[in-house]
Chains A and B, each alone.
Chain A
C-alpha cells in the first residue's frame, strides 16, 4: 500500500517537476513585472527505530509531502496582494488537503529613508521566533524537522497563521536595524490542537478566540547578529458535545520565545528559548483548573562545506511541564501516563546538499530520549518507547 502510494506520488511529482519551471517563467511571459509566482515541493522519507512520526515510520514512511504555490501582485508601489496554497501530508496529522496558507493585502503606507511602516490584512503568517513564517518551505528550514521544542508539528496550526491584521515596521539606525510586527487574529486551528490540549478529537469543538501576537527583532550589520523576542497570547474555547468528559471551559495560552543567531560567512550559530503557559479553566473534574508551563530550547551549529554542502548539529530539549520535567508526577497521577511522554531530548546531525539553487536533498539522524512531541493521533502513550532514533531523507524543489 505504502509503496504503491509512493509510486503514484512520485509519478505526480515528476510530472509537476516538468510543469512547474515553465509556470515560474510564465509570470514574465504575462509581461507584467508586478506579478510573481513561486512554489515548492518536497518529499520526505522517515524511518524510526520505534514510535510513529509522520506516518507508520517504524516500517519506513513516505507520508511526508509539502506542496506550495504562491502568487503576489503589486497593485501600486505601496500595495501588494499575495496568497499561497499549501498541501501538507504528515502521517496521521495532516492529510494533504489543500488550504490557504496565507492570503493578504499589504499596505506599506509610510516610507522614509531610515524606516518604514505598513499594515497587513487578511490571513497573515504568525511571526514566531526565527523560522515560523516559512516553516513549510524545506529550503528555509535548517533541518527536515524544525526543533520541536518551539516549532511543534503536532499543534502546528496554532502557530501557523491567523485571520486578522498586523502592523509592521522597521527602523534603520547607525547601531543596527529594529524590525517589529504586532497584531491580532484568530489562529486557524484544527483537530490537532484538540489532540494536543485535550488529548483526543472530542464530539465538541475547541475554537480559538482572538490571539494577540508581537515580535521585535534587532539586526546588527544586516543580520550578522539577530536577536528577537516573541509573544503570542490568547484563549481556546471548548464547546462540549453531549458525551464529552469536559465542560464548557477555556484553555488559555501564552507563548514567549527569545532567539539569537550569529551569521558568519561559513557557519551559523542559532539558539532559541521558549516558555508556554497553559491555563485550564472551567473544563470540569477531568481537567481541573490549573496553570502549567511548558519549556523548551535548542542550540544549533551549521557549517558550510565546500560551496554546496552544509553540515548541521543540534541539541533540542522540550518539557511539557516545567514543574515536572522528568514526568514522575504525571506517572504518579490518576492516568499513570509513562514519565517519558513529558519530555524529549533530541540530538540531531544533518547533511544538506544543494545540487542546484532550485533542488536540494537533506539527510538527518536523530537520537531521541523521550516522546513529548509525538502526536497522540499516531501513538498510544502507554506503548511509546523512551529511547528511539530517527532517520529522515528529504528532496525539495523550488522555483
Chain B
C-alpha cells in the first residue's frame, strides 16, 4: 500500500523554529518607525546683539534655559526663546548643548509657571522667527543651527 503523502509536508508548522526570530525582527523594524536615529546638528547659542557676554558655562546655560536665572550681570532681564518641545532643533539643543532631555526642561518650566515662582520661555516656530525675536528683544537668548549663521545676532560660546 502506498503511504499517503502528508498534505502539510513542506509547510512549516506554527512551532517551527524559523518563525521565532520574525517577532523580534518585526519589533525592530516597527521601532525604527518610532525611534528614528538621533540626528546630530551643529547648534549655537545666540543673544541680542548688544549683549557683552561672549561665553557661558554649561551649568549657567542650564540655569538660564530652566528659567532659574532671571537677570543678566548687567541687570537686564533674561528673555528666553525656544522651539516647541518636539522640534528637532530643540531636542538636539537640549541634549547636546545643555545635556538634559526636553521633558526635563518642560517639567522645570511647569513647576515654575504653576507655583508662581517663575515664567515660561517664549516659543517660536522657525529659525527666521528666532533670529527676528532675538534681534529685537534686549536680554534675549536662543539657539539656531550653525548653517544659519547670522551676523545680526551675537554668538555665545558654551564652555
Contact = CB atoms under 8 A, between A and B. Distances in A.
B71 A108 contact: yes
A307 B85 CA distance: 11
A223 interface: yes
Given A133-B115, A223-B100, A265-B101, A306 B34 contact: yes
A38 B117 contact: no
B116 A78 contact: no
A119 to B, nearest CB: 12
Interface string A246-284: 000000000000000001010000000000000000000
A116 B69 CA distance: 8
Interface in A74-120: 74, 77-78, 80, 82-84, 102-104, 106, 108, 111, 113-114, 116, 120
B47 interface: no
Contact of B59 (A125, A177, A265, A307): A177
Interface stretch (A134-142, A235-243, A367-375, A389-397): A134-142
Contact of A106 (B68, B98, B117, B139): B117
Summarize B's interface: helix, strand, loop or mixed.
loop
B75 interface: yes
Given A77-B71, A223-B108, A306-B34, A84 B114 contact: yes
Contacts of A124: 116
Given A77-B77, A108-B70, A172 B104 contact: no
Contacts of A111: 69-71, 73
A334 interface: no
B44 interface: no
Interface residues of B, number: 41
Contacts of A70: 113-114, 116
B158 interface: no
Interface in B115-149: 115-120, 122, 137, 139
Given A77-B77, A307-B86, A222 B116 contact: no
A222 B104 contact: yes
Given A36-B120, A74-B77, A140 B110 contact: yes
Interface residues of A, number: 46
Contacts of A244: none
B114 A134 contact: yes
Summarize A's interface: helix, strand, loop or mixed.
strand
A134 B100 contact: no
B107 interface: yes
A134 B84 contact: no
Nearest to A222: B100
Interface of A: 33, 36, 38, 40, 68, 70, 72, 74, 77-78, 80, 82-84, 102-104, 106, 108, 111, 113-114, 116, 120, 124-125, 133-134, 137, 139-140, 168, 170, 172-174, 177, 221-224, 263, 265, 306-307, 357
Interface of B: 34, 57, 59-60, 62-63, 66, 68-71, 73, 75-79, 84-86, 98-101, 103-104, 107-108, 110-111, 113-120, 122, 137, 139
27 contacts: A33-B79, A40-B114, A70-B114, A70-B116, A72-B113, A72-B118, A74-B77, A77-B71, A78-B71, A82-B116, A106-B117, A106-B118, A113-B60, A113-B73, A125-B117, A133-B117, A134-B110, A168-B117, A170-B68, A172-B60, A177-B62, A221-B100, A222-B98, A223-B100, A263-B103, A306-B34, A357-B84
